[in-house]
Structure 1
Amino acid sequence: MRDRARDVLVLLPTFEERATLPATIAGVRSHAPGADILVIDDGSPDGTGRLAEEIAAADPAVSVLHRPGKQGLGTAYALGFARALAGGYRYVVEMDSDGSHLPAELPVLLAAARGDARNRGAGLVIGARWVPGGRIVNWPWYRRWVSRTGTRVARIALRSELRDLTSGFRVIDAGWLARLELDALDSHGYAFQVETAWTFERLGCPIVEVPITFVERAGGRSKMSLGIVAEALANVLRWGWRLRRPRPHSSEREITP
């Protein structure tokens, strides 16, 4: 990565995204030209990692981390978070590399994180689909139903005020990111998005949800599976149960053996 004052690091986890990665990187470089990009590839058999290395060789703003196999979205982001904090970046971006998240909307999310003379910047900016102005393009009805139902269940179970807990297009202020206990996060799949957003909410982080247009992937195939959905549901219900579990009264906690 470039040896300069580091501001924004865009994290792009990949697994078999050879068809869409070049356009995603080009879009980020066009709409956020000052940002660095870190591709985290999970040993893609289609050669995504090799292609990322070729792009990085021609562009010093791009770097690549290779992992030996598919280890999950959550662990990829946790690794990227650690690299961002170690590198001294001010803002960290989560973004899909399959064309679903539009790079043209990245400046709006970054502006919400930075704030201005009238508005203080947010610690977490979520590119939200299920807010006024948010849109989804080319999703079949059952994908919409699964996403909306999952979001409703998570909001109720976790007593969350957020409208799109599962969105993966985000900007995080590194000051708030440093407050996360990365080793304590236990979601490997898409439940990671719910877990981190809910954790920030409980920490009192200022959160803004910015409407985005989510587009069905431009190429490749979805990584969503029944196992990933099951993990997300099980984790959400477990966290919700812990939230509601009766706690000992202070007098009981003070009793010593």
Structure 2
Amino acid sequence: MCILIADDDPVVRDVVRRYLERDGLAVLETADGASASAALARRDGFGDGMSGEVELAVLDVMMPGPDGIEICRAVRSGPRPDTPIILLTALGDEDDRVIGLEAGADDYVTKPFSPRELALRVASVLRRSRPFAPADHSALWDGVLEVRPAARLVCIDGARVELTPREFDLLEFLLRHPNAVFSREDLLAEVWGWDFGDLSTVTVHIKRLRAKLGAHHRIDTVWGRGYAWGRAGTEQDRSYG
């Protein structure tokens, strides 16, 4: 397993690689989207002690094509849709960041950035994406929606629903706390494990989760407070949009 860094700036690649290697991670560097796509498709190892598949990809949004967003979309519709992805972007506008999140990114970091912050983001995403033994192994049900925490599997009426690691964690958390209202700050801390971060990250993941679950989601928007799964209340304080 290895961490892929895809950026056309060799200085960025070198700095990020050194920080990740300090954390004991094997790092593979590529300078363009074509090489990054090829690396993400490989399953037979990369040499130098790096075997198997890319465990997480750090992709520059503006590198020579395909760019990071195009690769992210391709991964999410490909054979390994749950591969964690962090986007590096020089675009500071919130709309541009939302585009990256809607493409399926688990996180993004805006340039210029602190290499240590990026290393912490990588560690956080890896913790959430790696299989774990939950305290409660029992399946969670809501009608025909089934969530199996041990297998990290979601099904609707027996058909599998592909979720990213963050989407899965968000769904499991909400299902384990039905009727409780959580602000975006609460969810960022509880699901992402962050004390900092752009709250639009939560908003976009809620939107994506609703879209993937379709009519079977019960994520309510509680105006002025946050989100809840199946909160009892009046129509005036609920939204299903």
- Report if TM-score (shorter chain) is over 0.5: no
TM-score, with structure 2 as normaliser:
0.36
Q: TM-score, normalised by structure 1?
A: 0.34
Query: Relative contact order (alpha carbons < 8 A, sep ≥ 6): 1 or 2 greater?
Result: 1
